[in-house]
Amino acid sequence: MNYVRTFMLMAGLTALFAVVGYLLGGPGGMLVALAIAAATNLFSYWNSDRLALAAHNAQEVDEASAPELYGMVRDLAARANMPMPRVYLIQEDQPNAFATGRNPQNAAVAATTGILRTLTYEELAGVMAHELAHIKNHDTLTMTITATMAGAISSLTTFGMFFGSRENRPGFIVQILISVLAPLAAMVIQMAISRSREYEADRLGGEIAGNPVWLADALAKIAGGVAHIPNETAEAKPATAHMFIINPLSGRGMDSLFSTHPDTGNRIAALMEQARAKGLGTMGVGATTSGFTSQASQSPWNSDRTPGPWG
């Protein structure tokens, strides 16, 4: 159902783009709008990962520089039967993480130093599994396209108001309405797609990690951290907010038209239900011994639920 909803929302975004072009410039304006959409999406297809990582000053790590994190991602990727993504660290106190890349063969996962200090090994495994689920589902490409189109619609309305041909340009009042309502509608559609993909990534992430409770516990801790620790880089570049596992801009988590993420409580409830359906306990990490294991998970902090020595 989530895939059908995503397809319908993306179709609606494309239709909105074409309609705005037509209203501002007639048939010729619609063709220009579609050409702009194609050009911007082509650019974002090849460059979205580099732009997103650079925006947050992410630094690539390997097994020598971050053995625990790198090894965890490698083991989870193998469990998910997908290529090993590049791994990045962001020097940021706020606990958070995101994935980016045009396909599973050209993908990256990024975690903040704050999340490494906040979560236990199992909880972090749940988060990384969630990010791998986004990559496996091609959500990173979907969200790049929707964000690009939403931004392009805003640019198109501004351009059309000032530079559209006089014979095709609509009345002044109509122009004002288009300039306000079209970007607003695009933003609502973009956020609806983002929320839909988060629920699916939670579900698949729980499957990849082996225990959905780990991710549920992680979401509760991350939401608490986000509510109290500001992310100045994300505040300066809010267009990247939808990429993170929890909205980095505030502690809000409402299932509203203007939220980039579903309500955290709703996400946790869905993960707990998933755990019960799998016959797993819901008392947190350690409720089951099945699921994700690796050599690193045998380290001392695994048993006492204290954060690992991530550095």
List residues with catalytic annotation.
131
Largest CA distance in the chain: 73
Which residue shows structure tokens 């790049």?
144
Q: Residue 16's closest CA among 149, 140, 141?
A: 149
- Chain CA centroid to CA 146, Å: 12
- Show the CA angle centred on residue 217, arms to residues 113 and 144, nearest 5°: 60
List the structure tokens of 86. 């590049």
Interstrand relation of 86-90 and 107-112 (parallel, antiparallel or unpaired): parallel
**CA–CA distance, 192 with 6 (Å, rounded to integer):** 8
User: Phi, psi (5° rounding) for residue 58?
Assistant: -75, 140
Tally the residues of the chain. Answer: 311
- Show the CA angle centred on residue 141, arms to residues 21 and 71, nearest 5°: 165
List the structure tokens of 90. 């962001």
- Show the CA angle centred on residue 239, arms to residues 125 and 114, nearest 5°: 35
Q: Residue 269's closest CA among 221, 194, 207, 212?
A: 212
**CA–CA distance, 105 with 238 (Å, rounded to integer):** 27
- b vs e for 274-304, b when ≥16 Cβ sit within 10 Å of the residue's Cβ? bbeebebebebbbebeebbebebbeeebbee
